[in-house]
């Protein structure tokens, strides 16, 4: 065995033992010798770790623990066939509908379907009305769903709690999805809606946010606005995912942990790193392009408005959000990062979780702080 490999394996084991002593107070004698011998590090830095048991985080609320267990033990039955219309209908019926009903019960709103610049949208307004300070403000929601599902019900689930808590109008955009459409269709739709809203609202009074594909699209949209020489909005929220590359540790460490529709997804192979994104919307597209993953490009990031970033420690796309935050700060952009311990991808779709209510409060606070300034 090459000397470099021997040193790497020894050094890797030494670090693990020191971490066990310093962080947990556990001596190396308490770590099974078999487990110690199975940890290995390749010349390229790839670490091989034997299987281990991971309990739920002690920082999670009781409700979050219950939700996680239920989703893992009793996953939503889904038939991911080749017919996108059927898949969307099944997802709405089995997954979205119960969450949407609960969101409406907790946060009474009125919802009006409206065409804006030819794009279908849902205009969500709290039943008790928009707060006086928000009469000249508006939020745009870009729903998640891998750029292929989530229109309608999914966008409403993301919009209703924010409209209710912030007492603000939220417009959820049903941008064109895959497989029927490919990049840059969604960016074009967001820009069309945004330009129309600019006739009624000042750019500094418009906020944009989204989770998962919606988080990626939020970043894409700001890059697209720059290309089209549109004024930047007052603030944005990038939640659950930040770039189309979707690399980093979370892809490997968190993917098997998330309860996303009861997923038992194994971690991807270590090579290539990162694994290619399996998003039909981005087929044939350079995932590192500034219009696709602008958070990888400092010159584009430098022109971003204040940005709120949200993720959880069990979010398979969490690394992209954390990395985007560090790049935004380095580019001189005001950026706030909030990470929820033990929580998974899109956890706040469940409006009953205490952690979700914290998200709604922070999102409302962030946009209230930045819109109009």
Query: pLDDT, tens digit, for every residue of 116-175?
Result: 999 999 999 999 999 999 999 999 999 999 999 999 999 999 999 999 999 999 999 999
Inform me whether the pLDDT recorded for 221 exceeds 70.
Answer: yes
Fold of 72-370: Rossmann fold (3.40.50)
**Where in the chain are the domains?**
1-49, 72-370
Pairing of strands 170-173, 119-126: antiparallel
pLDDT tens digits for 248-264? 999 988 888 888 776 77
Half-sphere exposure of 234 (CA within 13 A, CB side): 21
For the chain, the average pLDDT equals 90
Q: How confident is the model at residue 294 (pLDDT cuts 50, 70, 90)?
A: very high
Give strand ranges (E) for the chain. Answer: 40-41, 47-48, 109-116, 119-126, 138-142, 170-173, 206-211, 235-239, 307-314, 335-344
Q: What percent of the chain has pLDDT over 70?
A: 90
Inform me whether the pLDDT recorded for 306 exceeds 80.
Answer: yes
What residues does 236 pair with on adjacent strands? 208, 307
pLDDT tens digits for 65-108? 999 999 998 888 777 778 999 999 999 999 999 999 999 999 99
Inform me whether the pLDDT recorded for 23 exceeds 60.
Answer: no
Which range is least confidently modeled, 23-37, 133-147, 218-232, 344-358?
Answer: 23-37
- The DSSP 8-state label assigned to residue 96 in this structure reads I
Indicate the pTM of the whole model.
Answer: 0.89
pLDDT tens digits for 262-286? 677 777 888 888 777 778 999 999 9
């Amino acid at each position: 065995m090459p000397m470099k490999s021997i040193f790497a394996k020894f050094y890797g084991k030494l670090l693990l033992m020191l971490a066990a002593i310093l962080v947990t107070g556990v001596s190396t004698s308490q770590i099974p010798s078999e487990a110690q011998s199975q940890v290995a590090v390749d010349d390229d830095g790839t670490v091989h770790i034997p299987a281990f048991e991971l309990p739920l985080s002690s920082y999670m609320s009781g409700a979050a623990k219950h939700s996680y267990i239920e989703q893992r033990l009793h996953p939503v039955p889904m038939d991911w066939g080749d017919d996108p219309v059927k898949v969307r209908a099944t997802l709405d019926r089995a997954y979205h509908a119960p969450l949407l009903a609960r969101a409406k019960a907790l946060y009474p709103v009125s919802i009006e379907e409206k065409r804006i610049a030819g794009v279908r949208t849902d205009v969500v307004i709290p039943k008790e009305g928009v707060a006086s300070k928000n009469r000249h403000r508006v939020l745009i929601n870009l729903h998640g769903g891998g750029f292929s599902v989530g229109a309608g019900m999914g966008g409403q689930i993301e919009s209703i709690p924010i409209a209710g808590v912030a007492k603000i109008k939220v417009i959820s955009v049903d941008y064109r999805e895959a497989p029927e459409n490919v990049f840059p269709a969604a960016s074009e739709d967001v820009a069309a809606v945004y330009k129309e809203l600019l006739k009624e609202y000042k750019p500094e009074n418009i906020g944009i946010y989204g989770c998962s594909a919606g988080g990626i699209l939020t970043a894409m949209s700001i890059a697209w606005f720059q290309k089209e020489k549109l004024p930047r909005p007052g603030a944005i929220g990038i939640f659950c995912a930040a770039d189309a590359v979707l690399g980093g540790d979370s892809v490997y460490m968190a993917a098997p942990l998330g309860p996303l529709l009861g997923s038992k997804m194994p971690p991807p192979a270590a090579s290539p790193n990162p694994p290619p994104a399996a998003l039909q919307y981005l087929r044939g597209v350079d995932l590192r392009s500034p219009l696709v993953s602008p958070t990888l490009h400092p010159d584009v990031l430098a022109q971003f408005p204040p940005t709120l970033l949200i993720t959880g420690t069990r979010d398979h796309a969490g690394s992209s959000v954390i990395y985007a935050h560090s790049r935004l700060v380095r580019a001189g952009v005001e950026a706030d990062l909030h990470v929820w311990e033990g929580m998974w991808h899109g956890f706040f779709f469940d409006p009953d979780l205490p952690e979700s209510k914290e998200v709604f409060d922070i999102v409302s606070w962030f946009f209230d702080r930045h819109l109009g300034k």
